[in-house]
Amino acid sequence: MRSLDDLLAEGVSGRRVLLRADLNVPLDKTTGTITDDGRIRASLPTLQALRDAGARVVVAAHLGRPKGTPDPQFSLAPVAARLGELLDASVPLAADVAGDDARAKTDALGDGDVLLLENVRFEAAETSKDDAERGELADRLAALADVYVDDAFGAVHRKHASVFDVAERLPHVAGRLVARELEVLTRLTTDPARPYVVVLGGSKVSDKLAVIEALLPKVDRLLVGGGMCFTFLAAQGHGVGKSLLEADRVDTCRRLLAEAGDRIVLPVDVVCAPEFSAEAETTIVPVAEIPDGQLGLDVGPRTVEIFGSTLGDARTVFWNGPMGVFELAPFQAGTRGVAQAVAAVAGLSVVGGGDSAAAVRALGLDEDAYGHISTGGGASLEYLEGRELPGLAVLADRAGE
């Protein structure tokens, strides 16, 4: 796989570079303002290196899940504005993805200039299962540039036009963010320093079963929190009240517990409330005593203590998924406590993107305390599962270069 440094060594001054970036940031539903610009900031090293080298940079990105047609609530306009602030430069936004306005604005670029294309998912072909449909969009995108750089690690597990098909049509390299993500994930999958502890949370156990199956033979401990823990607790025979439960996964969780023995560590207490609300009255109960009418919405303090102790001597840690509903103040303590324990690890600590990365920033924790904060939750998990990621596979293909 060729790197950005390989491309820069060849020279990009005056050349048009199509940069696929991951700028899929959360927006406030009322104001439309960006609530977490972490992914935009993560794109800056590659983008600035291209600018400094005199490239004419055309950035492609997606935001949210529009239905394959233009939708103002998913416009990249606030992203263009924030990108311009961070670069201290004008970043115009094309009115379309790869149409007349995109071509005109690309033609107007000077050396070191940056253009942001409108949300690539405004085109239904971007996510189409039909190769020909994606190919037609990829042809139009490729016509805007001389070379392709993929720095959108959060999208490399998707076989989308701007991720996969464009790379088949242009000379291509991996950006610095993609290269860093691969470096870290390789360390997690190739002889990690031990003890190796994985912390998994989030809402649904079904979203994590494949990675649990893949990781169990490799880890020394697997700590399970978040909404997904209640299906495991049910597998142990506990009642879980009104907590999130995937009843059709209980047998699978029971099998995993039997296979793993003491390597899977579950919560011993939880924070409960009668409803999903920041104003709800909370109680802390042992997992064997969750009331029938209550929801478990965070792991309890004793669990944080046990998880922290387990992480204390770890030399490699991968954390993906919050321990509770951290967006609501009464249910933040579990995620905060575990996040702080992960940050204190003496060896490699990796935050696996998605809600985990969002929690670090939302809770005001020091991002520099972690070895690496990934931008791609889903991509990270699929890599750890051992699945081939289309966006990486196509970058590794040197044919035609």
Tokens of 367: 């991002």
- Residues 231, 245: contact at Cβ < 8 Å? yes
Q: In 3-state terms, what secondary structure has residue 49?
A: helix
- In this structure, the chain runs to a length of 401
Cβ atoms within 10 Å of 88's Cβ, excluding its own: 6
Q: Which of 241, 324, 337, 378 is catalytic?
A: 378
| 54 carries a ligand binding annotation | no
| 64 carries a ligand binding annotation | yes
Q: Which of 20, 39, 51, 105 is catalytic?
A: 39
- Which residue in this structure is represented by tokens 């920033």? 361
Cβ atoms within 10 Å of 277's Cβ, excluding its own: 13
| 356 carries a ligand binding annotation | yes
| 208 carries a ligand binding annotation | yes
Q: Which of 135, 352, 354, 391 is catalytic?
A: 354
| 62 carries a ligand binding annotation | yes
Instruction: Tell me the C-alpha distance between 362 and 87, whole Å.
Output: 23
- Of 178, 183, 165, the closest CA to residue 46 belongs to 178
Taking the mean position of all CA atoms in its chain, how far away is CA 204? 16
Instruction: Tell me the C-alpha distance between 52 and 86, whole Å.
Output: 15
Q: Is 354 a catalytic residue?
A: yes
Instruction: Tell me the C-alpha distance between 240 and 288, whole Å.
Output: 8
Q: In 3-state terms, what secondary structure has residue 93?
A: strand
- Residues 127, 68: contact at Cβ < 8 Å? yes
| 16 carries a ligand binding annotation | no
| 121 carries a ligand binding annotation | yes
Taking the mean position of all CA atoms in its chain, how far away is CA 329? 23
Q: Is 242 a catalytic residue?
A: no
| 246 carries a ligand binding annotation | no
| 355 carries a ligand binding annotation | yes
Instruction: Tell me the C-alpha distance between 357 and 364, whole Å.
Output: 11
Tokens of 332: 């933040």
Write the DSSP assignment of 369-384 as a string of letters: GSSEE-S-HHHHHHHH
| 63 carries a ligand binding annotation | yes
| 168 carries a ligand binding annotation | no
Measured at the CA of 253, the angle between CA 249 and CA 255, to 5 degrees, comes to 120
| 87 carries a ligand binding annotation | no
| 65 carries a ligand binding annotation | yes
DSSP assignment letter at 389: P
| 158 carries a ligand binding annotation | yes
Q: Which of 204, 254, 315, 361 is catalytic?
A: 204
| 327 carries a ligand binding annotation | yes
Please enumerate, by residue number, every residue annotated as part of a binding site for ATP. Answer: 208, 296, 327, 353-356
- Per the annotation, where are the binding residues for substrate? 22-24, 39, 62-65, 121, 158
- The annotation places the binding site at 22-24, 39, 62-65, 121, 158, 208, 296, 327, 353-356
Q: Which residues are catalytic?
A: 39, 204, 354, 378
